């Protein structure tokens, strides 16, 4: 049914999992490029979006996919660094991702960030598959580059096969402990009831055809209705990152999940203090199959439709917030759209108290996750904001009544240079970490020691 192809948008697939379990490598393999080689310490510093057209997917999946069975245009993959809270990927109060790939190192099994990701997937009700990665590291493995996993498994010794099986059943057991009934994907009849586990290797690409097939099948079968959007409607998106770009000033890397954004459109963007009303000066798109974070040469486009990653250049974006909504005004009134953006921001609730610590985080989603973690730990918050640590934050922290509250907890943020001397001269303790629970633990330990 080809009439659908114009009106169904690309499903958004978030790739998440513990640090080093192979998210970026898996996307590299799918993308056929080696983005991770250009990364500092092979750690992905930012979230990126990569559009993989159906043609490419069916090419990779080979015999497993018949492209004429599908009318979705492809898949839009979003990479998340392991230390980055997946909750950043929010949209209209829910999850930005339609589906997710949870990458688990087949030898390591579940790790802290795997658990963190599972919690968020459960809370947002996001369907997901598990990529049991690095099967090639099984002792005695006989690699079958790019082959479907069952064919590859037939080529292994009994010993290698049983070692892999053991690891896979360990992961299936861990999923069950987390409340998800799971099995190897070819044994799953109903992907709405059971989580499919796909054994694969990002290094040798064996099992990657299977993953792509399962993802296409999942989105085709269960999400087709949600993928039917008004492609000409006013664009809606989520800011992934605010970035200075030479010649453009502050720009916002955005995932558009509904409608269309055109050059010259008036837009409203969630800002640090209030919604920003501005006009699109340029829409910059990475080339197909390129990575939005590393591609230097952007292509200027007249319009961009969902789902896609796009860099928006417009005046006054320097106060924009990662995780915040972007809305095209089009044939509505600006006030109407401002109210919409405000209402969405108000959903991200952070309860503040008269006494408490100062919290800074890189995105709205991670701020929300920090607030949740601190609430559970019964640590009150005086002020919570998105952004780097500024002199103002130190001044606020200093006003705390209790010594233990004279503290700033920073998640994925830096101490601004002009705040360094303030911090030295103030009686304020700074905690920084890239793992939320560690940040909270560090603070709790500090309070304990102080009370001794
Ligand atoms: P973060 O972005 O830091 O969270 O890590 P990541 O999950 O993106 O992991 P990445 O893809 O950077 O891979 C981490 C390391 O594992 C790298 O050295 C990869 O080469 C290696 N690796 C990833 N996948 C495989 C695989 O299938 N087999 C083998 N042998 N090594 C792999
Ligand atoms: Mg990575």
22-26, 45-49, 260-264, 435-439, range with the lowest pLDDT: 45-49
Say what the alpha-carbon torsion angle 188, 119, 199, 32 is, to the nearest 10 degrees: 120
The answer to whether 401 is a known ligand-binding residue is no
Pick the residue whose CA is nearest to atom 22 on ligand 1.
22
70/85 Cα distance (integer angstroms): 32
Structure tokens at 395: 């001044």
pLDDT in tens, 357-387: 999 998 887 888 888 889 989 999 999 988 8
47-51, 142-146, 162-166, 447-451, range with the lowest pLDDT: 47-51
Looking at ligand 1, which atom is closest to the CA of residue 83?
4
The answer to whether 363 is a known ligand-binding residue is no
Q: Does the pLDDT value for residue 176 go beyond 70?
A: yes
Pick the residue whose CA is nearest to atom 3 on ligand 1.
43
The answer to whether 305 is a known ligand-binding residue is no
The percent of residues in the chain predicted with pLDDT above 90, rounded, is 55
pTM, 2 dp: 0.82
132/104 Cα distance (integer angstroms): 5
Pairing of strands 182-184, 195-199: parallel
Q: Does the pLDDT value for residue 107 go beyond 90?
A: yes
Looking at ligand 1, which atom is closest to the CA of residue 44?
2
pLDDT in tens, 311-355: 999 999 999 988 889 999 999 999 999 999 998 887 776 778 889
Q: Which ligand is nearest to the CA of 42?
A: 1
pLDDT in tens, 414-445: 999 999 999 999 999 999 988 788 899 999 99
Pick the residue whose CA is nearest to atom 26 on ligand 1.
134
Interval between CA 85 and ligand 2 midpoint (Å): 13
428/400 Cα distance (integer angstroms): 10
C-alpha to C-alpha distances, 199 to 101, 139, 221, 390, 405, nearest whole angstrom = 12, 15, 22, 46, 47
Interval between CA 131 and ligand 2 midpoint (Å): 15
The answer to whether 18 is a known ligand-binding residue is yes
pLDDT in tens, 27-54: 988 877 434 444 444 444 444 688 888 8
213-217, 283-287, 426-430, 438-442, range with the lowest pLDDT: 283-287
Interval between CA 202 and ligand 1 midpoint (Å): 8
E strands, 260-398, in order: 260-262, 266-269, 276-279, 282-285, 299-301, 303-305, 308-313, 325-328, 357-361, 381-386
Interval between CA 8 and ligand 2 midpoint (Å): 29
Q: Which residue out of 33, 42, 78 has the highest number of ligand 1 atoms within 8 Å of its CB and is therefore the one to mutate?
A: 42
pLDDT in tens, 5-19: 457 888 999 999 998
354/401 Cα distance (integer angstroms): 9
Nearest-5° angle of CA 55, CA 61, CA 63? 105
The answer to whether 81 is a known ligand-binding residue is yes
**How big is the chain, counted in residues?**
452
Say what the pLDDT of residue 328 is.
98
Say what the pLDDT of residue 36 is.
45
Looking at ligand 1, which atom is closest to the CA of residue 80?
2
Q: Which of 197, 185, 155 is nearest to 64 (CA)?
A: 185
Which residues, in sequence order, are CB contacts of 415 under 8 Å at separation 6+? 388, 389, 423, 430, 432
Average pLDDT score, the chain: 87
Say what the pLDDT of residue 41 is.
42
94/84 Cα distance (integer angstroms): 18
Q: Which ligand is nearest to the CA of 28?
A: 1
The answer to whether 230 is a known ligand-binding residue is no
pLDDT in tens, 84-98: 555 567 777 678 899
Q: Which ligand is nearest to the CA of 41?
A: 1
Contact between 78 and 49 (Cβ < 8 Å):
yes
Looking at ligand 1, which atom is closest to the CA of residue 84?
4
Interval between CA 16 and ligand 2 midpoint (Å): 9
Say what the pLDDT of residue 43 is.
40
Q: Which ligand is nearest to the CA of 202?
A: 1
- Segment 52-60 shows an average pLDDT of 81
Pick the residue whose CA is nearest to atom 5 on ligand 1.
20
* pLDDT category of residue 159 using cuts at 50, 70 and 90: very high
Interval between CA 228 and ligand 1 midpoint (Å): 35
The percent of residues in the chain predicted with pLDDT above 70, rounded, is 89
Say what the pLDDT of residue 288 is.
56
The answer to whether 19 is a known ligand-binding residue is yes
Q: Does the pLDDT value for residue 68 go beyond 90?
A: no
Which residues, in sequence order, are CB contacts of 169 under 8 Å at separation 6+? none
| Cross-strand pairs, 251 | 243, 313
**What DSSP string runs through 217-262?**
HHHHHHHHHHHB--TTSBPEEEEEEEEEETTTEEEEEEEEEESEEE
Pocket of ligand 1 (CB under 6 A): 17, 19-25, 36, 42-44, 81-82, 133-134, 136-137, 201-203
Which residues, in sequence order, are CB contacts of 116 under 8 Å at separation 6+? 85, 86, 436, 437
Q: What is the DSSP letter of 419?
A: G
Q: Which of 166, 11, 173 is nearest to 91 (CA)?
A: 11
Say what the pLDDT of residue 85 is.
55
- Segment 140-148 shows an average pLDDT of 95
């Amino acid at each position: 049914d080809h009439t659908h192809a114009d009106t169904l948008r690309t499903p958004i697939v978030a790739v998440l999992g513990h640090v080093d379990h192979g998210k970026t490598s898996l996307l590299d393999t799918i993308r056929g490029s080696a983005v991770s080689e250009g990364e500092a310490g092979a750690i992905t510093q930012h979230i990126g979006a990569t559009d993989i057209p159906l043609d490419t997917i069916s090419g990779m999946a080979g015999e497993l996919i018949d492209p004429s069975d599908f009318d979705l245009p492809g898949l839009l993959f979003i990479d998340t660094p392991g230390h980055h809270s997946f909750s950043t990927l929010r949209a209209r109060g829910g999850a930005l991702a339609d589906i997710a790939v949870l990458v688990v190192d087949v030898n390591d099994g579940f790790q802290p960030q795997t658990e963190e990701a599972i919690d968020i997937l459960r809370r947002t009700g996001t369907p997901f598959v598990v990529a049991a990665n690095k099967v090639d590291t099984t002792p005695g493995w006989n690699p079958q580059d790019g082959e479907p996993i069952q064919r590859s498994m037939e080529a292994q010794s009994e010993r290698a096969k049983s070692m892999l099986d053991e690891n896979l059943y360990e992961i299936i057991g861990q999923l069950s402990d987390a409340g998800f009934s799971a099995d190897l994907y070819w044994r799953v009849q109903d992907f709405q009831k059971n989580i499919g586990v796909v054994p694969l290797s990002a290094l040798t690409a064996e099992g990657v055809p299977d993953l792509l097939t399962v993802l296409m099948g999942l989105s085709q079968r269960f999400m087709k209705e949600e993928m039917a959007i008004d492609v000409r409607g006013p664009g809606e998106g989520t800011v992934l990152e605010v970035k200075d770009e030479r010649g453009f000033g502050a720009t916002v890397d955005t995932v558009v999940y509904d409608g269309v954004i055109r050059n010259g459109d008036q837009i409203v963007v969630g800002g640090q203090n209030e919604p920003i009303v501005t006009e699109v000066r340029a829409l910059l798109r990475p080339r197909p199959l390129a990575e939005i974070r590393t591609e230097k040469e952007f292509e200027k486009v007249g319009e961009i439709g969902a789902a896609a990653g796009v860099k928006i250049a417009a005046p006054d974006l320097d106060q924009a917030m990662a995780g915040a909504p972007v809305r095209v005004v089009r044939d509505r009134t600006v006030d109407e759209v401002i109210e919409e953006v405000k209402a969405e921001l108000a959903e991200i609730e952070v309860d503040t108290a008269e006494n408490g610590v100062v919290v800074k985080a890189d995105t709205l989603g991670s701020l929300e996750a920090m607030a949740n973690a601190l609430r559970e730990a019964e640590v009150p918050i005086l002020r919570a904001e998105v952004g780097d640590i500024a002199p103002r934050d130190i001044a606020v922290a200093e006003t705390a009544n209790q010594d233990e509250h004279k503290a700033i907890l920073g998640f994925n943020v830096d101490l601004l240079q002009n705040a360094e001397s303030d911090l030295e001269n103030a009686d304020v303790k700074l905690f920084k970490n890239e793992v939320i629970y560690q940040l909270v633990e560090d603070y709790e330990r500090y309070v304990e020691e102080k009370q001794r």
